[in-house]
Amino acid sequence: MSTAGTESLLRQAREVREEELRQFCSRISALLRKEEPGPEALDALRRLFLIVSAEVDGAVATDFFTVLSTAQRFTEDQWLNVQAFSMLRAWLQLSGPGGPGAPDTDDKSEQEGSTLSVLSAASSAGRLPPPERLREKAFEYCQRLIEQSNRRALRRADSDLQKACLVEAVLVLDVLCRQDPSFLYRTLSCLKALQARLCGDPTCVRALLPLAQFFLSHGEAAAVDSEAMCQHVFSRVPAEHFHSPMLAFELVQFCRDSLPLLGRNLSALRRSFPSLLKLLAWNSPPLTSEFVVLLPSLVDASTAVEMLHALLDLPCLTAALDLQLRLSPAASERPLWDASLRTTSCPDTSQDPQLQGLLQHLLRAEASGAPERLAPLHLLLQPMAGCARVLQCAEAVPTLLQAFFSAVTQFADGALTNQLARLLLERSDSLYQVPGYEARVHQVLSAQFLGLCQRRPCLVVELAKELLEFVGSGGGLRGGGSVLTSVVWAVGEYLAVSWDRRCTVDQINKFFEALEALLFEVTQSRPSATLPQCPPQLVTALMTTLTKLASRSQDLIPRVSLFLSKMRTLAQSPAAGSLRCREDERAIGTRATELLNLLKMPSVAQFVLTPSVEVAAPRYHRDTNTALPLALRTVSRLVEKEAGLLPG
Amino acid sequence: MVHAFLIHTLRAPQAEEGLCRVLYSCVFGAENSPDDPRPHGAERDRLLCKEQILAVARQVESMCRLQQQASGRPPTDLQPQPSDEPMPLHEAPRGAFRLAAGDPFREPRTVVWLGVLSLGFALVLDAHENLLLAENTLRLLARLLLDHLRLLAPGTNLLLRADRIEGILTRFLPHGQLLFLNDQFVQSLEKEFSAAWPR
């Protein structure tokens, strides 16, 4: 039974007349030709499918509007669409369960309803409650974006936007899956396809990182093996893209952020440290502080030795990367390397297989477990040592060494500590010669060597052979002699039976002879090019150590006393060729006098210079440099006072 | 979310004298936490804010300078070309670095920067942001500012044109929100801006 209204409509229904159709068409075409049709007119035209939105590659859009859709003119709700998507991730995070702004369930529905109306697409969500509907819509939006980002954009700005949208889509999907694990199954199939697409496309490498993060976060739940992806990201990506500053920064951030998630994949990260160091070598100023934080997680007992070698060779790695870029066949118009360095001074490694091998080792992507000595490579890359980039890297190394040692000493056992100490001595005269680098590294190494000896005093006895060799060779005097000074000091402190029962009189005598010869050499000979001026700290350290050793093996006392009195005489009237200032000479003379006075009372000397552990523990001056002189000065004054009281 | 946007001077890599000056800055977020027990006046907050922005500008300047030195670009690159060609912003030096908590902002933040001849542009972002989007936005802002304000022409006084800069920021970075704008959108917004602020 039809109603009266329906009957009247049916009575009016008839064929559309020709002129009515013509009028309609002319009105529509006038609207379409107008410059600014106004929002209602636009809306009407859209409903009639007379204006459509397009994709970034120019194809007509067949699905709902997103930020990657273009149109001749934009309506208000399309503008709101853009704004809503831009805020979507923050909104989901804040209002999701556990988010800081998570309201009560009653309020949530109202707020999400309003966001929902803006993102409204195809109504496949059905009658779900608002939070779930928002997530469903967000999921569909992200899927569409991932599909749209596969198109070839006509404009460069759109191509950049596609990549940013990819990243955002993956990040939003990550949030969705965290809030509602039921999305995981559908997301995984979509993202696996994306992974295959991105791994083969070098321009999209930055979008790989959030993808890897997603697989790490949800891999366990979905039984997905994230190891291959991690391997690719940690090892291969840095090797190919180290020269891009933004990617380098993002990759290091990814490593830092993923540390809690990595779990058993931490070994994959640790194995790839040579690759990650490439990022640091090329972009040292912004990444140094990041690496200082990352380093403790990169180092473990199996990679510590190789890592120390790698850190000491970091400026050499910078030069090698520069060389690699210059020699690579795919050279772009705008050079990525330092163009001010002329190519003629660039070394040629193609002829020598040994150098090739060493270069490949330096540029390796994974830890090899077998460190190589790169001294020939240092010589080869010498012309590039003055490059600004190499200099910047060299400045970062001391900080990294400090971070390395503070991390390593947390877990190093006796064998590893000995290995590291040996390495310190060995590498101290085998460094890449960048101006100022050796001196700075030596300062760090000397302090760290003392630190190692303090943690493990028996090291001195165990490494006696290496230490003797080091003292005997002339190399320790280069670079300010700071490493040699610490070695000498350590020998004086820890070569005693009280620290290690295995210390023999024979060892003490051998060290004594070596140190005496060294002291003779540095004080008697004139400073020359091969034997630079010896710093006064080294002289006083040598004198003090010789005295300490003599106090432990008392038949050496006469020899030492003779030497010290000679030193005192020399200090009071310095030789013509000496370049030291008056204060230094005076300090040497004072120390010689104090030590001589001390040796006049051998048992007191032993007490002062080799205190037993119980006595040494409550030291009121923690600084070893002030405690001993204080004791010496006190004893000196006592002796002189006593001497004054005696007749004759 | 963007915490702050700033424009500052960049000295030539070889120049030793001269200070880094902040030419324009706009802070979108609030730095003070409500449970800060110390009494704070508006003046003190403003000064603190200025100091923080200057600290960021100085760091950006040194990063830019180090990058320029490392890539071996000649110092004459800082002089603007006399022609009216659009600047090749995709090749301009750019980078990102992290600011640790407390230095100088309370929370850890990331800075994305872009250097165009003698001017530096920087965005201070929250620690975990879409850096691709931030980089694109920064490039867009730099292009708009350079085009519409003729920032590199001699005799331009940037300090007196803050209202125009705000006009651009209101449309393209409203309240510090990074927007996903495709090229068509940018064009229509730019048209709107040109209509509101004729050159």
> In this predicted model, what pLDDT tens digit does every residue of B151-190 receive, in sequence order?
777 666 766 688 889 999 999 999 999 999 999 899 999 9
Does residue A549 contact residue A511 with C-beta atoms inside 8 Å? yes
What's the token pair of residue A57? 């590659």
Does residue A251 contact residue A291 with C-beta atoms inside 8 Å? no
Q: Is residue B58 part of a domain?
A: yes
Helices (H), A96-155: 105-119, 130-148
Q: Read off φ and ψ for residue A69, nearest 5 degrees.
A: -105, 145
- Radius of gyration (Cα) for chain A, nearest Å? 38
pLDDT computed for residue A106 by the predictor: 45
Count of domains forming chain A: 2
**Is A123 a residue whose pLDDT tops 50?**
no
State in Å, rounded, how far the first CA of chain A is from the last one: 147
pLDDT computed for residue A635 by the predictor: 85
Name the A residues in 337-396 with CB < 8 Å from any B CB. 337-341, 387-389, 392
Final residue of a domain: which of A403, A424, A444?
A: A403
Q: Is residue A319 part of a domain?
A: yes
Q: Is residue B178 part of a domain?
A: yes
**Strand ranges inside A227-331, DSSP E:** none
Most confident of A113-122, A255-264, A522-531, B151-160: A255-264
Rounded distance between C-alpha atoms, residue A213 and residue A262, angstroms: 10
Q: Is residue B64 part of a domain?
A: yes
CA quadruple A430, A436, A441, A446: dihedral sign: positive
Q: Read off φ and ψ for residue A392, nearest 5 degrees.
A: -65, -40
A158: Cα separation from own chain's centroid = 33
Does residue A495 contact residue A461 with C-beta atoms inside 8 Å? yes
Minimum-distance CB partner of B136 among A161, A245, A285 = A161
For residue A234, give the DSSP letter: I
> In this predicted model, what pLDDT tens digit does every residue of A322-334 receive, in sequence order?
988 888 776 555 5
The answer, for A139 touching chain B at a CB cutoff of 8 Å, is no
For residue A233, give the DSSP letter: I
Q: Is residue A139 part of a domain?
A: yes
Residues of B in contact with A68 (CB under 8 A): 182
**Is A348 a residue whose pLDDT tops 70?**
no
For residues A277 and A300, state if they share a domain.
yes
Does residue A373 contact residue A430 with C-beta atoms inside 8 Å? yes
Q: Is residue A619 part of a domain?
A: no
What's the token pair of residue B97? 């670095």
Q: What kind and span of H or E run contains B24? A: strand B22-27
Cβ-Cβ contacts under 8 Å for A624 (sequence gap 6 or more): A489, A493
Q: Is residue A412 part of a domain?
A: no
Final residue of a domain: which of A378, A403, A428?
A: A403
Most confident of A439-453, A487-501, B11-25, B153-167: A439-453
Cβ within 8 Å, pair B66-A74 = no
Residues of B in contact with A337 (CB under 8 A): 71-72
Hey, is A346 helix, strand or coil?
coil
Cβ within 8 Å, pair B70-A338 = yes
Q: Is residue B69 part of a domain?
A: yes
For residues A214 and A235, state if they share a domain.
no
Minimum-distance CB partner of A71 among B70, B136, B184 = B184
**Is B80 a residue whose pLDDT tops 70?**
no
Helix axes A557-572, A536-552, angle to 10 degrees: 160
pLDDT computed for residue A423 by the predictor: 92
Task: Measure in Å the smallest separation between the Cα of A127 and chain B Cα atoms.
Answer: 30
Q: Is residue B43 part of a domain?
A: yes
Chain B, nearest residue to A257 by Cα: B128
More confident call, A244 vs A644: A244
Name the A residues in 53-92 with CB < 8 Å from any B CB. 56, 67-74, 82-83, 85-87, 90
Q: Is residue A600 part of a domain?
A: no
Residues of A in contact with B177 (CB under 8 A): 83, 86-87
Residues of B in contact with A160 (CB under 8 A): 132, 136
Q: Is residue A633 part of a domain?
A: no
Does residue B123 contact residue B139 with C-beta atoms inside 8 Å? no
For residues A212 and A266, state if they share a domain.
no
Cβ-Cβ contacts under 8 Å for A179 (sequence gap 6 or more): A92, A96, A97, A135
What's the token pair of residue A17? 């007349």
- Measured CA to CA in angstroms, residue A174 lies from A165, A180, A185, A359 at distances of 14, 10, 12, 41
Where residue B26 sits, what CATH number does that domain have?
A: 3.30.450.60
**Is A246 a residue whose pLDDT tops 60?**
yes
Count of domains forming chain B: 1
Cβ within 8 Å, pair A90-B63 = no
Q: Is residue A177 part of a domain?
A: yes
Show the domain range for B180. Answer: 2-78+88-196
Residue A122 pLDDT class (50, 70, 90 cuts) = very low
pTM value is 0.84
Cβ within 8 Å, pair A392-B128 = no
Stretch A385-405: mean pLDDT: 94
For residues A89 and A139, state if they share a domain.
yes
Q: Which residue has the tokens 């002089």?
A: B79
Stretch A4-17: mean pLDDT: 72
For residues A155 and A198, state if they share a domain.
yes
Q: Is residue A558 part of a domain?
A: no
For residues A198 and A80, state if they share a domain.
yes
Minimum-distance CB partner of B132 among A85, A163, A392 = A163
Residue type, A14: R
As for the ipTM of the complex, it is: 0.92
Q: Is residue B52 part of a domain?
A: yes
Chain length of chain A: 648
Q: Which residue has the tokens 């303090």?
A: A454
Among the listed ranges A161-170, A256-265, A591-600, which one has the minimum average pLDDT value? A256-265
Q: Which residue has the tokens 């006796």?
A: A414
Residues of A in contact with B97 (CB under 8 A): 249, 285-286
Average pLDDT value for chain A = 83
Does residue A112 contact residue A131 with C-beta atoms inside 8 Å? yes
Cα-based torsion angle of the residue sequence A398, A399, A402, A405 in order, rounded to the nearest 10 degrees = -90
Name the A residues in 188-227 with CB < 8 Å from any B CB. 206-207
Among the listed ranges A445-449, B44-48, B107-111, which one has the minimum average pLDDT value? B44-48
Final residue of a domain: which of A203, A222, A241?
A: A222
Q: Which residue has the tokens 């201070």?
A: B124
Rounded distance between C-alpha atoms, residue B188 and residue B191, angstroms: 5
The answer, for A581 touching chain B at a CB cutoff of 8 Å, is no
Show the domain range for A376. Answer: 225-327+354-403
The answer, for A473 touching chain B at a CB cutoff of 8 Å, is no
Q: Is residue B83 part of a domain?
A: no
Residue type, A402: Q
For residues A204 and A83, state if they share a domain.
yes
Residue B40 pLDDT class (50, 70, 90 cuts) = low
For residues A218 and A232, state if they share a domain.
no
Minimum-distance CB partner of A67 among B91, B131, B180 = B180
